[in-house]
Amino acid sequence: MKELSEAEYRTTLALLASPGGSDRERIALARVPSSTFTAARRRLFAEGWVRSVHVPEPGPAGLARVEIALARPALAAREPLIRAWHADPDCVVLWVGVHAAFAVFFRSDAATSEPTVAGIDLTRIAVDRDAGSVPVYFDYAGAWARFGGAPIPDAYPVGLDFATGAASARARSVAREILDPSRPTDPPRRGWMNLLRMPRPQQRAFEEKVLHPRTLLDLATLPAYGGRRIGEVLWVRGRLRSGRIARDLLGALQRDCGVYPFLLAEDGTSVVLGGLGQVRAGAPGRVPVPSARRPVMTELIAYLDPADVLIEPVESIGRTIDHRYAVPPSAHPTETRERPGAGVRGTA
């Protein structure tokens, strides 16, 4: 497969760093001519290497909580676990690899809970308005910038907002319409978003932050760049050592290791983290390409006890449910409370 060109790499970075920005803003970030940007963007979406999604913000959308689960199921428990998670209507992401099963649940009802299956080694993070946080949520901009040697975008990391109170009923209603799977979409395979050109009623859902745009990478099909490709997803889980906090772990990984996770969730006691690993393109077998400035395990062990790392080849991950979101019809009763520090925009 042909490698990404420099313009395609830069255009991808601009889309990741500014998923809801105007074309002018993205072209400035990409630092390529506008015609080159347009051609590169068209190819990226047409090939399916990137795509756009609308992610509900838990606070403004009126969600009760978010649960993130990472399991290493025994063979006998694997299929029952996958069936249980797949049947859960609140499951918005379900990825299953050789070693790990990963799921995200956006709960609209505080009384619901994740299905339990015997015989699994499970780490579950539950975050709501009163406890925990998700400082990074499927934000690939930092890892992609590091992959190509570009400066880390100022917007990284983007997480989930639990602090802001629920938006207006009208904004939530519009958000439900936008996420309705039966709703006609933009022209096939076009994919990119220009919020300024949306109909005015739809803009309300983004202005009141019920929905937040994301650009996602298709890791399994994304071509190589510079003789390397994104070849692995690294799942990390563990319990925080006494006196340690997850935000400091995130800062240490960025500052000391040059590592930029695409996902980090914590409940004050445990952590689940998702990162990307590079492999050499075209080499026989799988040849990892070291990219961290210092050993990542050193930082993980300093913050987590135990620290468990599960490595999945990107081509082995089945995306049974891949960002299937909805907004609940009514807000949670505690929606108007603000929790200082739970909004997670900005760098740790």
pLDDT score, position 202: 84
pLDDT at 61 exceeding the cut of 60: yes
Average the pLDDT over 229-244 and give the result. 95
Q: Which has more confidence, 117 or 6?
A: 6
Mean pLDDT of the chain: 87
Q: What is the pLDDT of residues 11-56, one digit of tens each?
A: 999 999 998 888 899 999 999 999 999 999 999 999 999 999 999 9
What's the rounded Cα separation, in Å, for the pair 95 and 140? 17
pLDDT score, position 1: 65
Q: Is the peptide bond before 157 cis (omega within 30 degrees of 0)?
A: yes
Average the pLDDT over 49-64 and give the result. 95
**Would you say 261 and 299 are in contact if contact means Cβ atoms under 8 Å apart?**
no
pLDDT score, position 77: 87
- 88-120 residues labelled b (16+ CB within 10 A) or e (exposed): bebbbbbbbbeebbbbbbbbbeeeeebeebeeb
pLDDT score, position 200: 76
Q: What are phi and psi of 23, to 5 degrees?
A: -60, -35
pLDDT score, position 194: 62
**Would you say 232 and 276 are in contact if contact means Cβ atoms under 8 Å apart?**
yes
Residue whose entry in the numeric block shows the structure tokens 């760093």: 17
Q: What is the pLDDT of residues 248-300, one digit of tens each?
A: 999 999 999 999 999 999 999 999 999 999 998 876 666 666 666 778 999 99
Q: Which residues pair with 71 in a beta bridge?
A: 101, 122
pLDDT score, position 291: 67
Residue 190, SS3?
coil
Q: What is the pLDDT of residues 117-175, one digit of tens each?
A: 777 889 999 999 999 999 999 999 999 999 999 999 999 999 999 999 999 999 999 99
What's the rounded Cα separation, in Å, for the pair 253 and 259? 5
Q: Which residues contact 151 (CB under 8 A, 6 or more apart)?
A: 145
pTM exceeds 0.75, yes or no = yes
pLDDT score, position 336: 42
Q: What is the pLDDT of residues 164-205, one digit of tens each?
A: 999 999 999 999 999 987 766 544 434 556 666 677 778 889
Closest to 136 in 3D by CA, of 286, 272, 283: 272
Provide the pairing of β-strand 228-240 with 304-313. Answer: antiparallel
pLDDT at 334 exceeding the cut of 50: no
**Would you say 162 and 128 are in contact if contact means Cβ atoms under 8 Å apart?**
yes
Closest to 297 in 3D by CA, of 268, 259, 270: 259
pLDDT at 345 exceeding the cut of 80: no
Q: Which has more confidence, 211 or 293?
A: 211
pLDDT score, position 340: 46
pLDDT score, position 204: 87
Average the pLDDT over 95-124 and give the result. 85
CA angle in degrees (0–180, nearest 5) for 141-171-321: 50
pLDDT score, position 196: 60
Q: What is the pLDDT of residues 78-101, one digit of tens each?
A: 899 999 999 999 999 999 999 999
Average the pLDDT over 202-220 and give the result. 92
